[in-house]
Amino acid sequence: MNLLYWDIDGTLIKTSRAGLYAISEAAEALWGQAVNFDSIPTAGMTDNYICREVIKSIAGREPTNEEVANLCRYYETLLLEHLRSRVGIILPSVREILAALKECNDCRVLLLTGNSRKGAEIKLEHFGIADYFDFSRSAFAADHYRRGDIARSALSVAQSNWGSQEQHNLFVIGDTPNDIDCGKSIGAYTVGIATGAYTTAQLEDCQPWWAVDVLPAAAVFVEKIRAVSAKDK
């Protein structure tokens, strides 16, 4: 079976930074100060990491896990409003590829994302593509700060549901070096899509299994995935 783990922001959709605006509003409400994201890396980072760095930049100290969680939960309550107030897009070929994969009996369409589960649901429901994904077997930020920890939780869930890793092909699809690195950490085939903050050349420097400027047509994508299974037979 082919287990396909998708990143969200910059890979499936672009939200015109709605998430960061929501975090900024939440931080100002809870901490009384606006956020300057210029010094905080966000591409490929988890919600928990971003919220921790936001609090550090305001408070000048390491926040507690409870403080980070409070900011993340508050952000989730503001997210939909910010999505609605900005012009976001579903990236090229995404909907067609997801629909094609949903029809493949040997494929499972999953998420491996730095978003919380609630944040992921809000974003994907807003863009009308949530129903393509198996949320119950996907991997989210939860209590994790690092993407590698999310990847390991994805692998654990996969093994619990579908048996040992050797029986399946895992694919991690994302737009940042962090996506590629976390995919490699669990032995996945990694797909770098240069629709986010990184160029194809920068993603290729991370030596993914496949790197493209944009997602190809659905038939090309599915054929590429299934070629791995054919090779293993």
The full set of domain ranges for the chain reads 2-15+89-227, 18-85
The three-state DSSP-derived secondary structure of 99-110 is HHHHCCCCEEEE
pLDDT single digits (tens) 19-30: 999 999 999 999
The structure's pTM equals 0.94
β-strands 107-111, 169-174: how paired? unpaired
**pLDDT for residue 221:** 98
CA separation (Å) from 42 to 3, 117, 191, 211, 213? 26, 18, 20, 21, 21
Task: Determine phi and psi for 213, rounding to 5 degrees.
Answer: -65, -45
pLDDT digits (tens, 9 = 90+) for 158-196: 999 998 888 899 999 999 999 999 999 999 999 999 999
What the block records as the tokens of 112 is: 């491996």
d(CA 182, CA 208): 11
CATH superfamily, domain 2-15+89-227, is HAD superfamily/HAD-like (3.40.50.1000)
Query: Do strands 107-111 and 2-6 pair parallel, antiparallel, or not at all (unpaired)?
Result: parallel
Number of residues written out for the chain: 233
Provide mean pLDDT across the span 70-81. 97
| pLDDT in the model for residue 42 | 86
The residue among 84, 29, 22 whose CA lies nearest residue 37 is 22
